[in-house]
A and B are shown apart, each in its own frame.
Chain A
Amino acid sequence: DIQMTQSPSTLSASVGDRVTITCRASQSISKWLAWYQQKPGRGPTFLIFDASTLESGVPSRFSGGGSGTEFTLTISGLQPDDFATYYCQQYNNYPWTFGQGTKVDIK
């Protein structure tokens, strides 16, 4: 199975900050990576696919990058609604696997 490792596990930030989350795959997954946002008690929300393509309706302050084994999710200008947990997920090989999550909380 492909292992996905996110860093940091927790990130404390303020409204307006630019934050970056890193996701590393244990082997190359080309561009086959997605990002999700999850708030407590709710199902995840789909943000980005194919490493860098923003899903329709997702604010442009979210951006994704990378390929191969190293990927990033950047939020430019953190908003109050963005405090949540973020997960990366690879879909290059079955079983599809997720990172352990990065919690973005208020500094």
Chain B
Amino acid sequence: QVHLVQSGAEVKKPGASVKVSCMPSGYTFTAYFIHWVRQAPGQGLEWMGWVNPHSGDTNYAQKFQGRVTMTRDTSINTAHMELTRLGFGDTAVYFCAKGGSCDTTSCRPFQYWGQGTLVIVSS
């Protein structure tokens, strides 16, 4: 059974950085992308990017380019998302999601989701 367990809530000051962890289990960690999606309070979902746990390759939404870094540690089967220069608009729940199998004929984009990590930016 697939589970993605995320690190706990964080409170940060404006200008600080935050690093959120995601620990999947129940499948081969390096076989599927890990995506990061955030949700501001009472708002919809926003895709931030992905990391390929096998190669370490990343693809970030342009909105977050220069501020986000997605990494993975294959020794402990964990993915990380670090967001720098936090502003009040970064207050949100951050989700990791396991990508599914994707090819030219079919794709499961976000097949399983973590429980979310609340990040509060407050002075």
Partner of B116, one of A43, A55, A87: A43
Of the candidate stretches A16-24, A62-70, A72-80, A94-102, the one touching chain B is A94-102
Given A89-B45, A95-B61, A96-B47, decide whether A43 and B95 contact each other with a Cβ distance below 8 A. Answer: yes
- Chain A interface size band reads 20 to 34
Neighbouring B residues of A27 by C-beta, 8 Å: none
Cα A97 to Cα B109 in complex, Å, equals 11
Neighbouring A residues of B111 by C-beta, 8 Å: 46, 55
Given A50-B107, A89-B109, decide whether A43 and B114 contact each other with a Cβ distance below 8 A. Answer: yes
Cβ of B113 under 8 Å from chain A? yes
Nearest to A96 among chain B residues (CB) is: B47
Given A95-B61, A98-B45, A100-B44, decide whether A43 and B109 contact each other with a Cβ distance below 8 A. Answer: no
Given A94-B59, A94-B61, A95-B63, decide whether A44 and B107 contact each other with a Cβ distance below 8 A. Answer: no
Cα A99 to Cα B111 in complex, Å, equals 17
Partner of B110, one of A46, A50, A94, A100: A46
Cβ of A28 under 8 Å from chain B? no
Cα A99 to Cα B104 in complex, Å, equals 24
Cβ of B112 under 8 Å from chain A? yes
In contact, B44 and A98 (Cβ under 8 angstroms): yes
Cβ of A107 under 8 Å from chain B? no
Neighbouring B residues of A96 by C-beta, 8 Å: 47, 109
Cα A97 to Cα B110 in complex, Å, equals 12
Cβ of B115 under 8 Å from chain A? yes
Q: 17 pairs across A/B with beta carbons < 8 Å? A: A34-B109, A42-B115, A42-B116, A44-B110, A46-B110, A49-B107, A49-B108, A50-B107, A55-B108, A89-B45, A91-B109, A95-B47, A95-B63, A96-B47, A98-B44, A98-B46, A101-B44
- The list of the 8 closest CB pairs from A to B, nearest first, reads A43-B113, A95-B61, A98-B45, A96-B47, A91-B109, A100-B44, A49-B108, A101-B44
Q: Which residues of A contact B (CB under 8 A)?
A: 32, 34, 36, 42-46, 49-50, 53, 55, 87, 89, 91, 94-101
Q: Which residues of B contact A (CB under 8 A)?
A: 44-47, 59, 61-63, 95, 97, 100, 106-116
